[in-house]
Structure 1
Amino acid sequence: MAAAQPEFSPKMFVVPVLMLSVKFLKIDLSDYVPVLRVLYAVATFATVGVFVALRSMARRKAEPGNVTVTEKLPSGPVTKKLSTADYDVKECDKKLQQAAIGCLVVAFIHYKWGSPMPLLFQSIMQLVNLTDDPLVQIHFLHKKPIGKLARPFKVANPLADLIEGNTSADDQNSSSAKKKN
């Protein structure tokens, strides 16, 4: 069975093009550190503000229906049924947690090694990723939750897909080896 091909997105090229542009144009970003810090702070506060607003919008909005979510735990998969509002609030909480962790990582890299590049890249990527977020598209852009926007949202995790693909291939190989013996 062939694995699903990853979806092409122009935003995949933002960071490499930006990095090559900085190198090609020989821009010294250390001259712009204060501006980059402000830009990063604005982008981070905008991202957090959007998800806090989405969280409150999801609580107030009474969308009908339930969402069945399967969580992978070490003890095994657990299936839960959540209301649409509860699911959206839970997703906003995940995004806020990811923003906090990302902020800590970028701050550590910038403080420890003095590199201004993460400030620039994360400032731009936070805003680009915000426009692609399913919750933003559903609640702010008023798109219908169908297709790619259907709940539960598909999480693009190529590493997990690779691991799961290899695990299933190993399971098939070991089961076919057992059949031969």
Structure 2
Amino acid sequence: MAGMQDQLLQMAVIFGTMHIVKRAGLEDPEYAMLIRSTYAVATALMIAFTFYLKSLIQKKNDTTALEYNDPAPGNQGAPRIETTVCRYDLAEIAKLQKSSMFTIAIVAFMHFKFGYIQPLILQTLLPMLNLYKSQLFQIHILGKPAVDSLKRPWTPENPFAALTGGAATNPADVAAIENDSDGAAAASSSAASSPEAPASKNKSKKESRKDK
């Protein structure tokens, strides 16, 4: 449910921003320099904050052992990974920084090649929102315990899982579903066979009447 709420919030930010851009006329070339400057400042703050997070992780230097199989979708049968909490979090920071660099390159290409303003505005807001929702921010900045959805390793979110209802991947959940299915099948089969009992009683009554 939380994943679905995050997706809806992000969609609301996107469509709300697009609506404001059109209503305020921010697509006009006269606002281009202002929007570029705002985007540059927001992006610089975002990158600087990732380095601040990195310094916090290195300072804590949590050497708690962490063993797991790669939770990314499609990695069934992946070799078991042995690391520490510190190295795991540093690797996640590196992924975040690499993703940010890739996004900056795409946005810059779309703006300077095609003159699009909307990506600059969206990427001024969305990275900060996503950073706030990230497990790294929740643990190292807000001080939340690494339990439940914050427990390592972190599974990449599937934006369509909430829409499709999600599939049970936990063996216990699968077993419970199978047991429920077997119970339902047994109940339906017994219900289907139960009319035979009254029929046999009626037959015995008819035979007794004939004997009389």
Common fold: TM-score over 0.5: yes
Match of 1:27?
25
Give, in whole Å, the separation in 2 of the partners of 1:94 and 1:119.
Answer: 22
**Residues 48 and 28 of structure 1, relative CA distance in 2, 3 Å threshold:** closer
Match of 1:98?
99
Structure 1 residue 74, shift from structure 2 partner = 8.4
Match of 2:128?
127
Deviations 1:32-62 (A, max 9, x none): 1111111111111111111111112212213
RMSD between superposed Cα atoms in Å: 2.6
User: Residue 54 of structure 2 contacts residue 90 of structure 2 at CA under 8 Å; is this kept in 1?
Assistant: yes
Amino acid at match of 1:39: T
Rg larger in structure = 2
Give, in whole Å, the separation in 1 of the partners of 2:76 and 2:126.
Answer: 35
Match of 2:4?
7
Give, in whole Å, the separation in 2 of the partners of 1:7 and 1:159.
Answer: 9
1:83 to 2:81 alignment: no
Tell me which stretches of 4 or more aligned residues in structure 1 moved more than 4 Å.
Answer: 72-76, 159-162
Q: TM-score, normalised by structure 1?
A: 0.77
The residue matched to 2:69 in structure 1 has which SS?
strand
Give, in whole Å, the separation in 2 of the partners of 1:74 and 1:131.
Answer: 27
Structure 1 residue 158, shift from structure 2 partner = 3.2
Q: Structure 1: state its 5+ residue gaps.
A: 166-181
Matches within 5 A, 1:1-181: 6-9=3-6, 10-23=9-22, 25=23, 27-29=25-27, 30-63=29-62, 65-71=64-70, 77-158=78-159
The residue matched to 2:81 in structure 1 has which SS?
strand
Give, in whole Å, the separation in 2 of the partners of 1:152 and 1:15.
Answer: 29
Q: Structure 2: state its 5+ residue gaps.
A: 168-212
The residue matched to 1:126 in structure 2 has which SS?
helix
Matched residue count? 160
Higher strand share: 1
Amino acid at match of 1:81: E
